[in-house]
Amino acid sequence: MKPFINSLAAFTNEDFPVDEISSLIQNSQFSEENIKQYSYFSKDCYTRNKIYRDKNFEVLLLCWLPGQMAPIHGHEGEKCWFKIIKGNLQINNYSIISESPLKLKFEKTINASVGYVDGPADVHSIKNCSNRKVETLHIYTRPYDICDIYNIEEKRIERLKMRYHSIDGKLC
Protein backbone atom coordinates (compact mmCIF):
# COMPACT_ATOMS: atom_id res chain seq x y z
CA MET A 1 0.00 0.00 0.00
CA LYS A 2 2.91 2.34 0.70
CA PRO A 3 4.01 2.61 -2.99
CA PHE A 4 0.43 3.56 -3.94
CA ILE A 5 0.28 6.22 -1.20
CA ASN A 6 3.68 7.57 -2.27
CA SER A 7 2.43 7.79 -5.86
CA LEU A 8 -0.62 9.78 -4.72
CA ALA A 9 1.56 12.08 -2.61
CA ALA A 10 3.61 12.95 -5.69
CA PHE A 11 0.49 14.70 -7.11
CA THR A 12 -0.13 16.90 -4.06
CA ASN A 13 1.41 20.03 -5.58
CA GLU A 14 -0.55 19.50 -8.81
CA ASP A 15 -3.96 19.45 -7.05
CA PHE A 16 -4.46 15.79 -7.97
CA PRO A 17 -5.07 16.01 -11.76
CA VAL A 18 -8.14 13.94 -12.58
CA ASP A 19 -6.81 12.00 -15.57
CA GLU A 20 -3.52 11.08 -13.92
CA ILE A 21 -5.11 10.02 -10.62
CA SER A 22 -7.83 8.05 -12.41
CA SER A 23 -5.14 6.25 -14.42
CA LEU A 24 -3.05 5.56 -11.32
CA ILE A 25 -6.03 4.05 -9.50
CA GLN A 26 -7.15 2.06 -12.54
CA ASN A 27 -3.69 0.58 -13.07
CA SER A 28 -2.97 -0.18 -9.41
CA GLN A 29 -3.54 -3.68 -8.12
CA PHE A 30 -4.62 -4.33 -4.54
CA SER A 31 -4.31 -7.93 -3.45
CA GLU A 32 -6.22 -9.42 -0.55
CA GLU A 33 -2.88 -9.50 1.28
CA ASN A 34 -2.49 -5.71 0.81
CA ILE A 35 -5.86 -4.88 2.32
CA LYS A 36 -6.74 -7.65 4.77
CA GLN A 37 -5.51 -5.73 7.84
CA TYR A 38 -7.98 -2.93 6.97
CA SER A 39 -10.90 -5.20 6.10
CA TYR A 40 -13.52 -4.89 8.84
CA PHE A 41 -17.23 -5.49 8.34
CA SER A 42 -20.16 -4.65 10.63
CA LYS A 43 -23.71 -5.95 10.54
CA ASP A 44 -24.94 -2.44 11.47
CA CYS A 45 -23.65 -0.45 8.47
CA TYR A 46 -20.86 -0.30 5.93
CA THR A 47 -17.51 0.49 7.52
CA ARG A 48 -14.96 3.22 6.82
CA ASN A 49 -11.46 1.92 7.53
CA LYS A 50 -8.66 4.49 7.42
CA ILE A 51 -5.47 3.36 5.73
CA TYR A 52 -3.77 6.77 5.41
CA ARG A 53 -4.60 10.43 6.00
CA ASP A 54 -2.75 13.73 5.87
CA LYS A 55 -3.99 17.28 5.17
CA ASN A 56 -3.97 16.68 1.40
CA PHE A 57 -5.62 13.28 0.93
CA GLU A 58 -6.84 10.15 2.61
CA VAL A 59 -7.15 6.51 1.57
CA LEU A 60 -9.92 4.34 3.02
CA LEU A 61 -11.15 0.79 2.58
CA LEU A 62 -14.95 0.66 2.75
CA CYS A 63 -16.50 -2.71 3.52
CA TRP A 64 -20.11 -3.47 2.61
CA LEU A 65 -22.24 -6.44 3.64
CA PRO A 66 -25.20 -7.41 1.42
CA GLY A 67 -27.88 -4.72 1.39
CA GLN A 68 -25.75 -2.02 3.01
CA MET A 69 -25.74 1.39 1.42
CA ALA A 70 -24.50 4.94 1.63
CA PRO A 71 -27.40 7.40 1.30
CA ILE A 72 -27.41 10.14 -1.33
CA HIS A 73 -24.48 12.32 -0.38
CA GLY A 74 -22.01 14.87 -1.68
CA HIS A 75 -18.28 15.31 -1.29
CA GLU A 76 -17.87 18.85 0.00
CA GLY A 77 -16.23 20.05 -3.22
CA GLU A 78 -13.33 17.65 -2.93
CA LYS A 79 -12.16 15.17 -5.50
CA CYS A 80 -13.08 11.60 -4.67
CA TRP A 81 -12.39 8.34 -6.45
CA PHE A 82 -13.07 4.74 -5.60
CA LYS A 83 -12.14 1.37 -7.02
CA ILE A 84 -14.07 -1.83 -6.45
CA ILE A 85 -11.62 -4.38 -5.08
CA LYS A 86 -14.08 -7.19 -4.39
CA GLY A 87 -17.76 -7.60 -5.35
CA ASN A 88 -20.39 -5.48 -7.12
CA LEU A 89 -22.12 -2.19 -6.29
CA GLN A 90 -24.99 -0.14 -7.61
CA ILE A 91 -24.26 3.58 -7.92
CA ASN A 92 -27.04 6.11 -8.47
CA ASN A 93 -25.87 9.52 -9.68
CA TYR A 94 -27.83 12.74 -9.18
CA SER A 95 -27.57 16.43 -9.99
CA ILE A 96 -28.82 19.21 -7.74
CA ILE A 97 -31.68 21.29 -9.12
CA SER A 98 -32.45 23.18 -5.89
CA GLU A 99 -31.08 23.10 -2.34
CA SER A 100 -33.98 24.83 -0.59
CA PRO A 101 -36.28 23.08 -0.94
CA LEU A 102 -34.11 20.16 -1.92
CA LYS A 103 -34.75 18.88 -5.41
CA LEU A 104 -32.46 16.38 -7.14
CA LYS A 105 -32.52 15.05 -10.66
CA PHE A 106 -31.74 11.35 -11.02
CA GLU A 107 -29.11 11.00 -13.74
CA LYS A 108 -28.24 7.31 -14.07
CA THR A 109 -27.61 3.97 -12.39
CA ILE A 110 -24.29 2.20 -12.76
CA ASN A 111 -23.95 -1.48 -11.91
CA ALA A 112 -20.24 -1.76 -11.22
CA SER A 113 -17.98 -4.72 -10.53
CA VAL A 114 -14.36 -5.50 -9.64
CA GLY A 115 -11.91 -3.06 -11.18
CA TYR A 116 -14.50 -0.33 -11.77
CA VAL A 117 -13.12 3.15 -10.96
CA ASP A 118 -15.49 6.03 -10.20
CA GLY A 119 -14.42 9.62 -9.82
CA PRO A 120 -14.20 12.31 -9.18
CA ALA A 121 -17.52 11.69 -7.52
CA ASP A 122 -20.20 14.31 -6.97
CA VAL A 123 -23.71 13.52 -5.64
CA HIS A 124 -24.59 9.83 -5.50
CA SER A 125 -25.80 6.89 -3.44
CA ILE A 126 -24.04 3.54 -3.29
CA LYS A 127 -25.54 0.14 -2.44
CA ASN A 128 -24.37 -3.44 -2.23
CA CYS A 129 -27.24 -5.12 -4.09
CA SER A 130 -25.46 -8.48 -4.17
CA ASN A 131 -25.49 -11.31 -1.68
CA ARG A 132 -21.70 -11.09 -1.18
CA LYS A 133 -19.28 -8.88 0.71
CA VAL A 134 -17.89 -5.88 -1.18
CA GLU A 135 -14.65 -3.96 -0.59
CA THR A 136 -13.90 -0.60 -2.17
CA LEU A 137 -10.78 1.55 -1.97
CA HIS A 138 -11.58 5.30 -1.68
CA ILE A 139 -9.28 8.26 -2.23
CA TYR A 140 -10.42 11.67 -1.00
CA THR A 141 -8.50 14.89 -1.58
CA ARG A 142 -8.80 17.59 1.08
CA PRO A 143 -10.22 15.14 3.65
CA TYR A 144 -13.32 16.18 5.54
CA ASP A 145 -15.15 14.94 8.64
CA ILE A 146 -18.71 16.12 7.91
CA CYS A 147 -20.68 15.63 4.70
CA ASP A 148 -24.04 16.56 3.20
CA ILE A 149 -26.73 13.89 3.10
CA TYR A 150 -29.56 14.62 0.68
CA ASN A 151 -32.83 13.57 2.26
CA ILE A 152 -35.21 13.61 -0.69
CA GLU A 153 -38.20 12.39 1.37
CA GLU A 154 -37.99 15.42 3.68
CA LYS A 155 -36.62 17.69 0.92
CA ARG A 156 -33.67 18.89 2.95
CA ILE A 157 -29.93 18.58 3.31
CA GLU A 158 -28.60 17.12 6.55
CA ARG A 159 -25.06 17.26 7.90
CA LEU A 160 -23.51 13.94 8.97
CA LYS A 161 -20.36 13.57 11.07
CA MET A 162 -18.17 10.91 9.51
CA ARG A 163 -16.36 8.33 11.61
CA TYR A 164 -13.89 5.52 11.13
CA HIS A 165 -14.55 1.91 12.04
CA SER A 166 -10.81 1.24 12.16
CA ILE A 167 -7.62 3.30 11.90
CA ASP A 168 -4.39 1.85 10.54
CA GLY A 169 -5.78 -1.69 10.87
CA LYS A 170 -6.98 -1.34 14.47
CA LEU A 171 -10.65 -1.19 15.49
CA CYS A 172 -11.78 2.11 17.02
Cβ neighbours for 41, distance < 8 A, ≥ 6 positions apart? 47, 63, 64, 65, 133
172 belongs to a structural domain: no
Query: Computed over its alpha carbons, how large is the radius of gyration of the chain?
Result: 16
pLDDT at 78: 84
| Type of residue at 9 | A
Domain containing residue 61: 2-167
> Domain of 88: which CATH number?
2.60.120.10
Q: How many domains does the chain have?
A: 1
Q: Tens-digit pLDDT profile for the chain (172 aa)?
A: 999 999 999 999 999 999 999 999 999 999 889 899 999 999 999 999 999 999 999 999 999 999 999 999 988 778 999 999 999 999 999 999 999 899 999 999 999 999 999 988 789 999 999 999 999 999 999 888 889 999 999 999 999 999 999 999 999 9
| 133 inside domain | yes
DSSP state of 77: T
* pTM metric for this prediction: 0.94
> Is 59 part of any domain?
yes
Give the pairing type, strands 134-141 and 57-64: antiparallel
Instruction: Judge whether 135 lies within some domain.
Output: yes
